Amino acid sequence: MTRYIAALTLVLMLGMAAIRLVSMKAAGIEAFKFGKTDKTDFLIPPFVLAYFYLVFALAFQWPAVNLPTLLPFKAVPWFGVVFCLAGLLVFLWSLVSFGRSFRVGIDTDRPDRLIATGAFGWSRNPIYVAFACILLGQFLIASNWIFLGYLVAGIWLLHRQILREEAFLKSHYGHEYSVYCQRVRRYL
């Protein structure tokens, strides 16, 4: 059951993002800016697709590498479900808080106003916190070396992206962003 929830988490997360992107495009806003500021970002999608395959292979018994469980306790996968659900809720809250300012990637052409309320009054990077929760939850559900590797690599990539975005936000919003940084933590 927990493995199905791991797969459903990915479907729901992608569905929420897709709905937001489509609705923004209908409103005349090009919100998908991924890979526009750093071309090395295009190295990420093959690893993401492999990750999605592994999650679905785990849920639906598709061919995949079978590794021993690192945390062989019955309650651990259910803690993973809690993290996945928490991540989905934070992701949804972040999308709502972002409003029409939502972008995938850094929008240097048409940046919107600085969002500092809602989920962004709790964390400067609630979407990335949500992704980290989901990655942790899915590691706890699968609990093997491959998912541990994805957890570590994913958190490193998220942190790298946060540093890129912070540099842009500092240069674009200046003092307003500095004051925001003093008031709200980077993660939690």
Query: Domain residue spans in the chain?
Result: 2-183
> What average pLDDT does the segment 126-155 reach?
98
What is the number of residues in the chain? 188
Q: According to the model, what pLDDT value does residue 119 have?
A: 98
The angle subtended at Cα 69 by Cα 64 and Cα 75, nearest 5°, is 120
Least trusted range by pLDDT, from 26-40, 71-85, 145-159, 170-184: 26-40
Whose CA is closest to 107, among 165, 62, 187, 41? 165
pLDDT digits 0-9 by tens, 65-112: 989 999 999 999 999 999 999 999 999 999 999 998 998 888 888 778
Provide the whole-model pTM.
0.94
Write out the two tokens for 36. Answer: 């526009």
Sorted by sequence, the CB contacts under 8 Å of residue 8 that are 6+ apart come out as none
Three-state secondary structure call for residue 70: coil
**Rg over CA atoms, the chain:** 17
Beta partners for residue 104, in sequence order: 32
Q: According to the model, what pLDDT value does residue 42 have?
A: 77
- How far out from the chain centre does Cα 94 lie? 11
Three-state secondary structure call for residue 36: coil
| Structural contact between residues 127 and 160, judged by C-beta atoms closer than 8 angstroms | no
**Hey, what CATH class is 2-183 in?**
mainly alpha
Q: According to the model, what pLDDT value does residue 73 have?
A: 96
Q: According to the model, what pLDDT value does residue 55 have?
A: 98
Q: How far is CA 125 from CA 21, 52, 165, 186, in A?
A: 19, 23, 10, 6
Three-state secondary structure call for residue 104: strand
- pLDDT bin (cut points 50, 70, 90) of residue 185 is very high
